[in-house]
């Protein structure tokens, strides 16, 4: 369910980037660029995403990667930057959150501490709503919301957003316990 949701979100992001690049814009985001992971402090995370992270970290990371992550997860305090950024690389990149997948910037790499959403909104990718809603809708069966009309309603009323937590405020020490 979660991977299906991420696949849909990625298709939407790919399409938005394609539309911008045909207008001559260039994606600034690249591997190793991670100021956004440190400067953003209110990244929304949906319940199924938290389960996905537990699954990925426990089942898919090797012992060495788990050992590198356990310390930052344990010492992470409420409001601290994302603990999954290890030596400038996202340790959970294949299952990074929807919000992370959607945040892309064009033309100029962000400065340290910059949140381009506030400093130059015009350079930040606007996700295509159709894909964004579809990606969120694919998480809804996890909450028992299965039929199309129910899903549409849950998206329209923002029901799913009411169940989001803030990544930086989650107690990640429980995940640290599972890999220590």
Q: Would you say 15 or 159 has its CB closer to ligand SF4?
A: 15
Smallest separation, CB 166 to ligand SF4 (Å): 12
Q: Would you say 8 or 104 has its CB closer to ligand SF4?
A: 104
Contact 117, 124 (CB under 8 A): yes
115, with CB counted inside 10 A (0-12, 13-18, 19+), is middle
Q: How far apart are CA 101 and CA 70, in angstroms?
A: 23
Smallest separation, CB 169 to ligand SF4 (Å): 14
Contact 90, 100 (CB under 8 A): yes
Smallest separation, CB 180 to ligand SF4 (Å): 20
Smallest separation, CB 177 to ligand SF4 (Å): 20
Q: Where are the beta strands (DSSP E) in 25-176?
A: 44-45, 85-86, 89-90, 165-166
Q: Would you say 10 or 159 has its CB closer to ligand SF4?
A: 10
Sites of contact with ligand SF4 (CB under 6 A): 28-29, 33, 35-37, 43, 82, 84-85, 90, 92, 96-97, 100, 103, 105, 109-110, 116
Contact 163, 47 (CB under 8 A): yes
Q: Would you say 67 or 109 has its CB closer to ligand SF4?
A: 109
């Amino acid at each position: 369910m979660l991977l299906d949701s991420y696949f849909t979100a990625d298709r939407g992001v790919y399409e938005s980037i394609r539309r911008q690049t045909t207008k001559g814009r260039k994606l600034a985001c690249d591997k190793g660029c991670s100021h956004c992971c440190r400067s953003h402090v209110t990244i929304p995370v949906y319940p199924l995403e938290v389960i996905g992270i537990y699954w990925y970290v426990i089942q898919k990371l090797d012992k060495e990667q788990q050992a590198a992550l356990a310390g930052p997860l344990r010492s992470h305090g409420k409001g601290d930057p994302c603990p999954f950024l290890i030596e400038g690389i996202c340790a959970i990149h294949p299952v990074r959150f929807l919000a992370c997948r959607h945040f892309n910037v064009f033309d100029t790499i962000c400065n340290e501490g910059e949140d381009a959403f506030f400093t130059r909104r015009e350079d930040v990718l606007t996700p295509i709503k159709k894909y964004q809603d579809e990606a969120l809708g694919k998480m809804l069966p996890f909450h028992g919301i299965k039929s199309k009309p129910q899903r549409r309603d849950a998206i329209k009323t923002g029901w799913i957003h009411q169940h989001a937590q803030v990544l930086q405020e989650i107690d990640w020490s429980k995940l640290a316990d599972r890999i220590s």
